[in-house]
Amino acid sequence: MRLHVVTFGCQMSAADGGEMAAPILARGFRAVDAPEDADAIVLNTCTVRQHAEDKALSMIGRLRTWKAEDPGRVLIVAGCAAERLGPWIQKRFPYVDLVVGAKSIEDYPRIVEETLAAKFDALRETRESFDETASAARSAPVSPETPVGWTSPVVAPVTIMRGCNYSCTYCIVPHVRGRESYRSFETVMSEVRAKAAAGAREILLLGQTVNSWHARAADGRERRFTDLLRAVASEDGVARVRFESPHPHFVDDALITAFAEVPETCDHLHMPVQSGSDRVLGLMRRNYTAAGYLEKISRLRAAAPRIVVSTDIIVGFPTETDDDFERTLELVERLRPASAYTFKYSPREGTESAGMTDDVTEEVKEARLARLNALCDGLNDAALKRRIGTTVEVLDENGGYGRTRDGFRVKWGTPASPGRLRTVRVTGTMKRTLLGECDEQR
C-alpha cells in the first residue's frame, strides 16, 4: 500500500503533514512521490489566502479521476481549508473519504484509523488481516505527542504550540486553528532527543507565535520560550536551533540575550511586520507601531550583529492609501530584510476585516506589489552578492545542498555528506541560492 502526502501552506502545515502520514505509515503503507502511484492520498490544505485555498480545491477536483479509477483508494482532505469548509467540501466532492480539519489534529490518528478500518474492511482486506496490522499499528509509537515522519532527517521540525491568541483582523488562523495550546517542556524535549538520536542536527521549533510558548515543567517551575531554546540547544547532537514565527510582542530582553549568548541559535529571524503604516497596523490590530518594531530589530542587531532579518508584508489592506504604502516602502528601506514574502490582501470570510470594503482595486494592489517586490528583490540580490568571496558554515541537508546559519540556501555539490557542517567558499549566486566550493582541507 502506498501513501502520498501533499501539503499546502506554512511550515506548521508541512510539519502537520508529517504527523498526518505517521498513523498511515505505521499501518504498513510506504511513502511515494507521485500521486498516481498512491493507494491513499492525504491533502493537507491551507486557507490563509483565497489563492492558497483555490489551489487545494482544484487539486481535490483533479483527483476525481484518480479516485474513479479505483474506488478502493482513500482520499483524505485535512488542514486549515478543511476546517473552514468541511461540510461544503464533503458535499461538493462526495468522493472524498474523510474531511478532517486543523483543529482535530490531536484526534487525527484515531479518526484516520477508523476511516481506514471501515474502508479496508469493506473493500480490501479480510477483517482478520486488517486487525493484525491495526494492532501492530496501535503498539507503534504514534500519537500527536510524538510525531514521526518528518521530511528531512537532518532538519527536524518540532511543533511546540498550536493555535493563536491574537486577533489580527485579516487573519483566518485563529478561526481554523483555535486558541493557543502549548506542548509540555518534557514532551518537546523528548521529541528533540528522539530526532537528534535519529540524525537531526538542526531543530526547527514551530508555532504560530512560537515565542509566546510557556509551560510549567514537571519540577513545578514555569519555563519560558528562551528556557526551551537553551535546553534544546544544549542537547547532544543538536548543532543548530531555528524557530518560526516569532511575534514582535514577545521579542524581549531574554530572547535578545539568548540570540547573543547561545551559539546554536541560528542568526536568522523571520518576523512578519505586515505594514509600515501605523494607521494600517492599527486597523490590522497588530499591537505595535512601525517604530516599535524597528526598535526591537535594532536592539537585536546591536546584541547580535550577524543576525539576518526576513519578514512578511501585505499590500492593499482595506483603506490603504498611497501614503500608507509609502510608509511600508520606507520601513523596508530601514529594515533592509534579506528576504520578504509579500502578499496582496485577500479578504477571508469570517475575519473582522472581511467586514470592511475591500476598496483597494486589483490594479492598485498589483502595482504596489510590483514596487514592493522590486525593492525587496534588490535587497535580496545585494545580500546574496555581499556573500560572494566569503566563507560560510553550511549544514549539508541533502548531499551538497543546505542552508547557512543566517538562512541562505547554498549549493556546492561535492563533497556531500548529509548531516555534516561544512565550510563553503561562496563563488557566485543563482536565483536566490548561493553557489560555492567546499575545500575538504579546511
Query: Shortest Cβ distance from residue 383 to ligand SF4 (Å)?
Result: 25
Three-class DSSP category at 49: coil
Residue number of the CB closest to ligand 5AD reads 312
Among 261, 144, 146, 151, residue whose Cα is nearest residue 192: 146
Instruction: Dig out the grid coordinates for 369 from the structure.
Output: 506589489
Query: Shortest Cβ distance from residue 9 to ligand SF4 (Å)?
Result: 3
Among residue numbers 21 through 60, which ones bind ligand 5AD (CB under 6 A)? Answer: 48-49
The position carrying cell 482478520 is 128
Among residue numbers 177 through 216, which ones bind ligand SF4 (CB under 6 A)? Answer: 177
343 is a site residue for ligand 5AD (CB under 6 A)? yes
Among 118, 98, 117, 100, residue whose Cα is nearest residue 108: 100
Q: Which does 343 bind (CB under 5 to 8 A by kind): ligand SF4, ligand 5AD, none?
A: ligand 5AD
Among residue numbers 149 through 178, which ones bind ligand 5AD (CB under 6 A)? Answer: 170-171
Instruction: Dig out the grid coordinates for 295 from the structure.
Output: 526598535
Between strands 308-315 and 30-31, the pairing is unpaired
337 is a site residue for ligand 5AD (CB under 6 A)? no
DSSP 336: -
Cis amide linkage into residue 245, ω under 30° from 0? yes
Q: Of these, 5, 20, 47, 239, which contacts ligand SF4 (CB under 6 A)?
A: 47
Interacting residues of 53 by C-beta distance below 8 A, sequence separation 6+: 45, 46, 47, 81, 84, 85
Q: Of these, 1, 3, 10, 142, which contacts ligand SF4 (CB under 6 A)?
A: 10
Query: Shortest Cβ distance from residue 100 to ligand SF4 (Å)?
Result: 14
Query: Shortest Cβ distance from residue 58 to ligand 5AD (Å)?
Result: 19
154 is a site residue for ligand SF4 (CB under 6 A)? no
Size of the site for ligand 5AD (CB under 6 A): 13
13 is a site residue for ligand SF4 (CB under 6 A)? yes
Q: Of these, 1, 24, 48, 82, which contacts ligand SF4 (CB under 6 A)?
A: 48
CA angle at residue 372 from 354 to 403, to 5 degrees?
100
Q: Which does 182 bind (CB under 5 to 8 A by kind): ligand 5AD, ligand SF4, none?
A: none
160 is a site residue for ligand SF4 (CB under 6 A)? no
d(CA 6, CA 33): 9
d(CA 408, CA 402): 8
Instruction: Dig out the grid coordinates for 113 from the structure.
Output: 484509523
Among residue numbers 258 through 277, which ones bind ligand 5AD (CB under 6 A)? Answer: 272, 274
Please classify residue 105 by burial: count the beta carbons closer than 10 Å to its beta carbon, then call 0-12 exposed, 13-18 middle and 19+ buried: buried
Q: Which does 109 bind (CB under 5 to 8 A by kind): ligand SF4, ligand 5AD, none?
A: none
Residues forming the site for ligand SF4 (CB under 6 A): 9-10, 12-13, 46-48, 52, 79-80, 172-173, 176-177
